Amino acid sequence: MGLLHWEKRYSVGIAAVDHEHRELIELINRLYDEATSRGSKDAVLDFFGDLFKAISAHFALEERFMRERGYNQLIQHKNDHERLLDEIRDIMEDFEAGAGVNEQLLAQRLDAWFSRHFETHDARLHKALGAHPE
């Protein structure tokens, strides 16, 4: 079924960026499926690591784009990226500590994660500067 589903409110209006965001949602859904299917703890932690790397790479690309274009909201946007990465780390650490996956809490945290960031920071960035190169 999947944890997150693409919603129109996530769109920043730029096809390439929206595509990247859809790919991140797919990765999160695959992680969720793995974590809730009684897969091995090591496999789930490996998947968390892969997801974290993919999100970090996406953020690094955005931040480079913002620096190159002289985006005046770079610090605020980068700070939100750090907050989002901290949130993913917290979820990973909770899982590793044996808390398992609280499906409802994970859904709430990740939905808030996407909706707040996509609707505010990413929408403002891409409205001001357009698409970043892939």
pLDDT band for position 133 (50/70/90)?
A: low
For residue 6, being part of any structural domain is answered with no
> How many structural domains comprise the chain?
1
Span 98-102, mean pLDDT? Answer: 69
Give residue 33's pLDDT: 82
Give residue 31's pLDDT: 80
Of 130, 121, 118, 128, nearest in space to 24 by CA: 118
Long-range contact pairs involving 65-72 (C-beta distance under 8 Å, separation at least 24): 65/129, 65/132, 65/133, 66/125, 66/129, 69/129, 71/125, 71/128, 71/129
Give residue 134's pLDDT: 54
Percent of the chain with pLDDT over 70: 88
* Structural contact between residues 119 and 10, judged by C-beta atoms closer than 8 angstroms: yes
Looking up residue 20, the CATH number of its domain turns out to be 1.20.120.50
For residue 2, being part of any structural domain is answered with no
* Structural contact between residues 19 and 130, judged by C-beta atoms closer than 8 angstroms: no
For residue 124, being part of any structural domain is answered with yes
| DSSP H or E run through 33 | helix 15-36
Q: Which domain holds residue 64?
A: 11-129
For residue 134, being part of any structural domain is answered with no
The model's pTM is 0.78
For residue 4, being part of any structural domain is answered with no
Task: State the amino acid at position 6 in one-letter form.
Answer: W
| CA max distance for the chain | 46
